[in-house]
Structure 1
Amino acid sequence: MPAPRAAARLTSGQLVFGKPEEAKGGRSLLWSCDSGRCVGVPMKAVNGSVKLNGAAVAGVRQVHAPPQPTSSMDDDGGAFRLGKFVEGRLVYRQQFVIRSYEIGPDRTATMETIMNLLQETALNHVMCSGLAGDGFGATRQMTLRKLIWVVTRINIQVDKYSRWGDVVEIDTWVASSGKNGMRRDWIIRDRNTKNMIARATSNWVMMNRETRKLSKIPEEVRQEVLPFYLDRSIIAADASGGGGSKIEKLTDSTAEHIRSGLAPRWSDMDVNQHVNNVKYIGWILESVPLDVLEDYHLTSITLDYRRECRQSQLLESLTSMTSSAASEPPLPASSRCSSDLQSTHLIRQQDDRAEIVRARAEWSCKGQEGRSSSPGMKL
């Protein structure tokens, strides 16, 4: 019987192999990408048994494998594109350079940039784990059942924004969340200092991509992802600005600023045929006063996603700003900031005012750099 023409993982969990390919001398090679670098492993089939490097392997089960490597994976930039597993394959780590088009007027990375990097790391985590189907971060069993992941809440806390040319290192891992959800956490560090500069946590549920209805996690999917669960939280559920506390709904009477006529573009849509969750940050900021954007850093934001948004829907952005209860040490007289700020936001459909996203944010005066509660924290 010929060797399987699908991917296989050893029961020890040490190697993930892709589709065999022919090598010189008539050998077949399987590619191992377990350590973040990819190498070819000779294999052959003898009387139905798979042999790797001449040794028989028992108990092989089929899974999907990451894409076959190219020569570019072995150069110095390979780590920036692929990342690697640490802590026994429970944590996925990837590095990114902050590009010129990812910075804002302050010459630092924007909150949208941070969210995009978090999303990219999460998707690469799924791909390199060998579980990826043909969906947007979906596993093979999810793809077979027409299921996709949708985010219900995300909280990001930033101690320091990176600048153009800085290199950041992002760790991510997953855990269960209730009976039918998954939690994904991230840590962002400065690669040079290893100081933690941001952290994030999120909750995800499954949706049928055709009916657009939420779904329970099938047992087959649960068994796929269970070996990757790590029971570790980077942000406590009751932490300030994050966690599970309810975000109050804004109305026309409670909102101080309303921006109407926001139109999703084709480029705002993702492969799951709805607006990418990162795009809402820009619409939220559309109704934030300009002097706040000029004088304050956005240090924390929680987004509570209520429903999908399609391209045909016009949106409204509502914002209400409040001052923090107590300002810390007095600010310089030249500063226009009087205290830190908190804000509440709502993105809704313009025609029927149906809620799409609620959000809560915290803002720190730009004259208060270095006064964060956990600057330069190492983890």
Structure 2
Amino acid sequence: MAMPAPQAATRVVAGGQLVFGKPEKAKGGRLLVRSCDNGGGRNGRRVTVEAVNGAVKLNGAAVAADVRQVPAPSSMDDGGDAFRLGKFVEGRLVYRQQFVIRSYEIGPDRTATMETLMNLLQETALNHVMCSGLAGDGFGATRQMSLRKLIWVVTRINIQVNKYSRWGDVVEIDTWVASSGKNGMRRDWIIRDRNTKNMIARATSNWVMMNRETRRLSKIPEEVRQEVLPFYLDRSIITADANGGGRKIEKLTDSTAEHIRSGLAPRWSDMDVNQHVNNVKYIGWILESVPLDVLEDYHLTSITLDYRRECRQSQLLESLTSMTTTTSPATDEPPAVPASSRCCSDLNSTHLIRQQDDGAEIVRARAEWRCKGRPGATKQP
């Protein structure tokens, strides 16, 4: 089979621009490139390169056996892997990873969104499993789970935010796991600012196993339990009753919801490899029914999501929201929020994502909001 002719290439050498010319044929069918010159460069130094089938000479001296083995300069040489893979700390019980907040991960107020934080938590959890050596061929599943066609599904997650990072900030996330009852697992996270080491967010979640073919919940097989047991760390970052994280979330109805948004359609890109909607996607649908002035004037400081059932791409959804001010100690009743008095006090909200055709519950949620202009509001860097 004939080989395609190499194209001219350009590379910066010694401050100037080195231009490889058109190849010439040498004996034996080899390709030869001669007399590549940088023209002197800004520093006046002339560099000549000769290459024969990848063997490179710089000013007549051999510099590499094969041009393909010459590493390209990289600004990530010092510690770059830390932003991609992470490491174990505390005797391999805690997994730690760092992330840069990208421009496409911030919202209108130029800070990372709640969805961004949730995605980073999920990424850290999956990398924890991969780097532990337990990963099978599933999405965060261990080898024994893969053999038994089991997957992890989240039943509840609570995240509390003290400060939202900005574009370009680097965050450091710690995660670990522990048992939760007889057939569940708890996963916790801490998010810190890498520079200050201050905790800026924390989260906890509960997970159970499901058969990926029958879609039925499963007990944890003993073989799987023995796989994950060495990684269990009995440490809670959020107690079950902190900020109502363990309380039952009341169901909204057409009569109790103040705002309803219908016609929400899951996209193909919302699906994960377990063939259901990724758990982070529900945050966006919840916010679809939150009043715009709340989104503009308040920080979402805490949210608890209670996942009730799977959601597939073919299902149309509805988002329901009810907003109240923080419960008054005197009356112990959360009054409704008049539009004229918003941002005078902190808010609580209750949410429901349901199927539009039959009203079947998908996710219940409860959230807390703090006015951006009030003292003690979620701080920004």
C-alpha separation in 2, matches of 1:74 and 1:309: 43
Could you say which residue in structure 1 is the equivalent of 2:118? 115
Could you say which residue in structure 2 is the equivalent of 1:364? 370
Could you say which residue in structure 2 is the equivalent of 1:223? 226
Match runs of 1:229-308 below 5 Å:
229-242=232-245, 244-308=246-310
Residues 92/74 of structure 1: CA separation in 2 closer, same or farther (3 Å cut): farther
Determine helix, strand or coil for the equivalent of 2:242: coil
Match runs of 1:92-103 below 5 Å:
92-103=95-106
**TM-superposition CA deviations, 1:294-335 (whole Å, max 9, x none):** 0000000000000000000000000000001249xxxxxxx9
Deviation of 1:338 (Å)? 1.1
Amino acid at match of 1:267: S
TM-score (norm 2): 0.76
**Same amino acid, percent of matched pairs:** 91
Structure exhibiting the larger radius of gyration computed from Cα positions: 2
Deviation of 1:183 (Å)? 0.1
Could you say which residue in structure 2 is the equivalent of 1:343? 349
Match runs of 1:11-160 below 5 Å:
75-160=78-163
Return 5+ residue gaps in structure 2 as ranges.
1-70, 330-340
Amino acid at match of 1:275: V
Deviation of 1:77 (Å)? 1.0
Determine helix, strand or coil for the equivalent of 2:201: strand
C-alpha separation in 1, matches of 2:133 and 2:215: 26
1:241, 1:300 within 8 Å by CA — same for their partners in 2?
A: no
C-alpha separation in 1, matches of 2:300 and 2:374: 12
1:170 aligns with 2:173: yes
Amino acid at match of 2:347: L
**TM-superposition CA deviations, 1:71-111 (whole Å, max 9, x none):** 99965210010100000000000000000000000000000
Amino acid at match of 2:198: N
Question: Which of 310, 325, 338 is equivalent to 1:323?
Answer: 325
Amino acid at match of 1:159: N
Residues 227/74 of structure 1: CA separation in 2 closer, same or farther (3 Å cut): farther
C-alpha separation in 2, matches of 1:322 and 1:234: 27
C-alpha separation in 1, matches of 2:277 and 2:77: 35
TM-score (norm 1): 0.76
Amino acid at match of 2:166: R
Amino acid at match of 1:262: L
2:299, 2:377 within 8 Å by CA — same for their partners in 1?
A: no
Deviation of 1:370 (Å)? 3.6
Deviation of 1:369 (Å)? 5.5
Deviation of 1:368 (Å)? 2.4
1:181 aligns with 2:184: yes
Structure 1 vs Structure 2 CA RMSD: 2.0
1:170, 1:188 within 8 Å by CA — same for their partners in 2?
A: yes
Equivalent pairs, count:
298
Residues 88/349 of structure 1: CA separation in 2 closer, same or farther (3 Å cut): same
Runs of 4+ in 1 over 6 A off after TM superposition: 70-74
Determine helix, strand or coil for the equivalent of 2:202: strand
Determine helix, strand or coil for the equivalent of 2:111: coil
C-alpha separation in 2, matches of 1:121 and 1:241: 25
1:141, 1:221 within 8 Å by CA — same for their partners in 2?
A: yes
Could you say which residue in structure 1 is the equivalent of 2:311? 309
Determine helix, strand or coil for the equivalent of 2:144: helix
Residues 316/192 of structure 1: CA separation in 2 closer, same or farther (3 Å cut): same
Could you say which residue in structure 2 is the equivalent of 1:354? 360
Amino acid at match of 1:186: W
2:371, 2:377 within 8 Å by CA — same for their partners in 1?
A: no
